[in-house]
Amino acid sequence: MFICIKPCFYLAVTVTLVSCSYLLTPSVEPQITQLEKGQYQLDPEHTTVLFKVQHLGLSMYVGRFNDMSASLNFEPNKMAQSSLQAKVQTNSVDVNNKSLEDTLRGDGWFHTEQFPEAVLKTLSVTPTEVENQFQFNAELTLLGVTKPVTLNATFHGGANNMLTGFYTLGFSATGSIKRSDFGMDQYIPMVGDRVDIEIYAEFQKVD
């Protein structure tokens, strides 16, 4: 009987965890017109902002930022009236190399002491021919320079998140910039001029 206690206990725990997992997994509504409109704030714990740049013509070097915030005014039935504003703290740059991160924070690159934030503000939102996909036409301010940028955005759906208590939207976006447009032109073409951006995020409804 003693021999059976551990296997039975672990089986009971496993069954309980699996059951809880199913109960806590929300039923996601994929139709954008059925999603809840309103004001949303970024959930930074479930957000990733990546950048990719060509290195020596051999590979794509990938980094990320770890500190960001954003607000979204979401109008699912009138997406042209939706808007997004986001801020990234540039000193949170992360390339899994402390020495290089210190270099990137310096004057030749992100110059984080003088320009601690990169700011993105949408100017317009345009539907595409693909369901739930939109073009976010925006302006990006980096190193004191403001330039237009287009993000190709996808809304993956919305649901009530029982773990946080917030109604939550899933969102992703891609785009690209030329770093030289912002005065960051070191080592081109050894380090590529084009920088690809990828965003994976969740937004929590706050009103």
Domains and CATH numbers, the chain: 31-205 (2.40.128.110)
Mean pLDDT, the chain, whole residue set: 90
Q: Which are the contacts of 99, defined by CB distance < 8 A and separation ≥ 6? A: none
Q: What is the pLDDT of residue 27?
A: 65
Q: Count of residues for the chain? A: 207
Residues 205, 51, 101: CA angle, nearest 5 degrees: 110
Q: Tokens representing 57?
A: 């013509």
Q: What is the pLDDT of residue 5?
A: 60
Q: What is the pLDDT of residue 148?
A: 98
DSSP string computed for 6-43: HHHHHHHHHHHHHHHHHHHS---B--GGGSPPEEEEE-
Please state, in angstroms and rounded to a whole number, the distance separating the CA atoms of residues 175 and 83. Answer: 17
How large is the greatest C-alpha to C-alpha distance in the chain, in angstroms?
Answer: 73
Q: What is the pLDDT of residue 13?
A: 43
| pLDDT greater than 50 at residue 16 | no
Location of structure tokens 């190709």: 152
Please state, in angstroms and rounded to a whole number, the distance separating the CA atoms of residues 157 and 30. Answer: 4
Q: Which are the contacts of 129, defined by CB distance < 8 A and separation ≥ 6? A: none
Radius of gyration of the chain (CA): 21
| pLDDT greater than 60 at residue 12 | no
Element (H, E) at 155: strand 145-161
Residues 146, 94, 64: CA angle, nearest 5 degrees: 55
